[in-house]
Chains A and B, each alone.
Chain A
């Protein structure tokens, strides 16, 4: 039991059927998560990170999306084969999720109390009164002032940051083992971002929850995560612990991402370095490495064969034939 992973994703493939053909949004990714670990998933828009996050709760809109291969093992049990009604008892109780848009993620016509009580009563046998007390306690935990009063307010009466914190409180109200946070701070002000991230870390410690943080913000990753997956075009291109990744990135893409972050204390640059080119169209993927066209270390071999994700040293796995 001890060496059993909390969550294990094995060779997951997710396809979307579109008018122009089938698109593999996620193409054979594997990763695992330990108890109370924080795993970051970074990548550009459209690299499959959100789809991966949604798939952990089987929330991919279907049709058009479908998990066509692979397993998602939660405490050793596969959830890919679980029925929709079994998933209902799973979502929010075992794995919870918070989303990018706090402005629209809460139901506008019900009070936040009503929504929190719904979640609590969905997964426990609490009476309405007990559920309300529990909801108020959660609001106190995230330091919402006057929780007894604010619980009867509607989402539009709160700021974006406050709504996101309420989402977090709601997500953690049934003590899930894993919290999946899909770009939780993207839509927020920078000052509020830090506040929300601090809240997530604090509650994570208190409840001993594992967190999967999906983001394109490397700063957020550096501050909160223990391990990082870098995704590109539906594949994992690099996996490392956070300090290794930031100190010595091996994959050219990861290096490209890191050098394109503006640094305040370093000498002034004429122009912020960027990664040339664009992400290839998922409908017309190249045969070889998907990053080849944008890569500065590309050689002929890269265009012919796809590099597998391999261990290059103790700390890093990289999908590149010629890593740094």
Chain B
């Protein structure tokens, strides 16, 4: 797409869209059709009485590609606003994960100790399993999942990133 060699950067982009049928398909289709990466995607109505949804996308590309992504998103008819949280200033990005660990003995005890250290909550337990709930930055979740791997990691379910600018700044 571009002949300019530039470093790949990650971008967390929030998009406020009209809450109507097919709007998510338009966004996903745009990424698939133009070959952009989706590292994470979340969408939910953020009901302020105006029927709008918020889509958070974590993507990566050269600065020129990221600018293209924003411009392409902005020209979709049901899109109200597009914000590049990574570029616009400090922001918070959080993700939630459910992590199922199956095991017995020392491994089980160690999993529980680590979960405590990571401030993961036990939301389900049986004699042979735990389900941990954990919220945090993507990297923290990644680290926790890796630690659970040798301790009987069986299943992971993640929400993808929800993000927002710090301070009084709004999208």
* A in complex with B: no
